[in-house]
Amino acid sequence: MEKYTVYAPRLIPKKEKFAPGHRACIGCGEALAVRLACKAFNENTVVVNATGCMEIVASQLPYTSWRLPWIHTLFENTAAVASGVEAALKVMKRKGTGPKAAVKVIAIAGDGGTSDIGLQALSGALERGHNFLYICFDNEAYMNTGIQRSSATPFGAATTTSPAGKASIGQFSWKKNMPAIAVAHDIPYVATACPSYPFDMMNKVAKAIAVNGPAYLHVLSVCPTGWRCPGDITVRLGRLAVETGIFPLYEVENGEYKMSVETPHQRPVQDYFKLQGRFRHLSEADVILIQERVKREYEKLVEKAKNGRKSERAKTESRANTDQVSA
């Protein structure tokens, strides 16, 4: 896992494996995220794509934006199809009939396709230990079909199926913690990312590809259409999600947490909310309630990362002691 490619300005491949000309809305953060992720894919990749915005906008017959082998799956079976492709490649290799180069299977899906309808297939694939990368592009609702709430929609957000009004705050439940669910499967690599931090994101994709086993990446993808915001603040909103502590960036390598961007002095969540129509109805009391929860969750994460650092130090010290004894 140490041998991953590092992305930095001027080292980014110019080739677009997710070609322009697709039909995503203006300012779509999900299309930007897919484009950047593709920069870190190598040519020997099979993309397994759930139905959702990224499939619909990029594969309208007879056109496609995908300059990689690509399979469209049902909503619910993305990880199952990815498992099948990975297993088939393994068998072909054993029989000497497969491609000479190693081929990576990468499954991609939205938050609806991941945290709701595709969760069972994903859990099975992670548990069986398939060698594949799963990326969830999370725009926090079922956007492709008209902004319906998913279990990844944040508390208080208005969607067409969680409308805000006198009797409703909008989304009534807290956002499902998908990265924590992936971590609970005890897989080698889990991380969160956002295209507003492009180098962090590409490095994480490359690192996840280098893992021999299942890896899971959860990417916050700003959706101006569903979030009711202008298309020219996509990158700014992604940064605000991180700077407020609402969407912390971190990695979990073999169970050990590491913060990627530390924000000890967080901005108030209202800085993020006030730019989006989906939160326009929230009262001061609602915002305070959310602010407290964000702070609590962030502190829990930082604590886990501190424990990770401690155990890393302990491992180094015990290795040093063993070396001394054997010397």
Ligand X SMILES: Cc1ncc(C[n+]2csc(CCOP(=O)(O)OP(=O)(O)O)c2C)c(N)n1
Give me the residues that bind Mg ion (CB under 5 A), please.
110-111, 139, 143
Cβ atoms of 29 and 239 within 8 Å: the answer is: no
> With binding defined as CB under 6 A, does residue 121 bind ligand X?
no
CA distances from 265 to 203, 243, 291 (A): 25, 8, 13
- The residues in 117-146 that bind ligand SF4, with binding defined as CB under 6 A, are 139, 143-144
The single residue among 27, 29, 110, 214 that binds ligand X, judged by CB under 6 A, is 110
Closest distance to ligand SF4 from the beta carbon of 289 (Å): 27
* Region from 126-134, 175-183, 217-225, 284-292 binding ligand SF4, contact rule CB under 6 A: 217-225
The rounded distance, in Å, linking the Cα atoms of 21 and 275 is 28
Q: Beta strands 132-138 and 256-259: pairing type?
A: unpaired
Residue 113 interacts with, from ligand X, ligand SF4, Mg ion, none (CB under 5-8 Å by kind): ligand X
Question: Which residue in 58, 49, 225 sits closest to 147, CA to CA?
Answer: 225
Residue 182 makes contact with ligand SF4 by CB under 6 A? no
d(CA 204, CA 253): 11
Please, what is the minimum distance in Å from the beta carbon of residue 109 to ligand X? 6
Window 9 to 68, contacts with ligand X (CB under 6 A): 30, 51-54
- Distances from the Cα of 99 to the Cα of 44, 82, 93, 106, angstroms: 9, 17, 7, 17
Per CB under 6 A, does 75 bind ligand X?
A: yes
Among ligand SF4, ligand X, Mg ion, none, what does residue 308 contact (CB within 5–8 Å per kind)? none
User: Residue 213 and residue 32: Cα distance in Å, rounded?
Assistant: 26
Q: How many helices (H) and strands (E) are present in the chain, helices listed first?
A: 11, 8
Under the criterion CB under 6 A, does residue 203 sit at the interface with ligand SF4?
no
The amino acid occupying position 109 is A
Residue 254 partner contact from Mg ion, ligand SF4, ligand X, none using kind-dependent CB cut-offs of 5 to 8 Å:
none
Positions touching ligand X (CB under 6 A) are 30, 51-54, 75-76, 109-113, 139, 142-145, 150
Positions touching ligand SF4 (CB under 6 A) are 24-25, 28, 30-31, 53, 57, 139, 143-144, 223-226
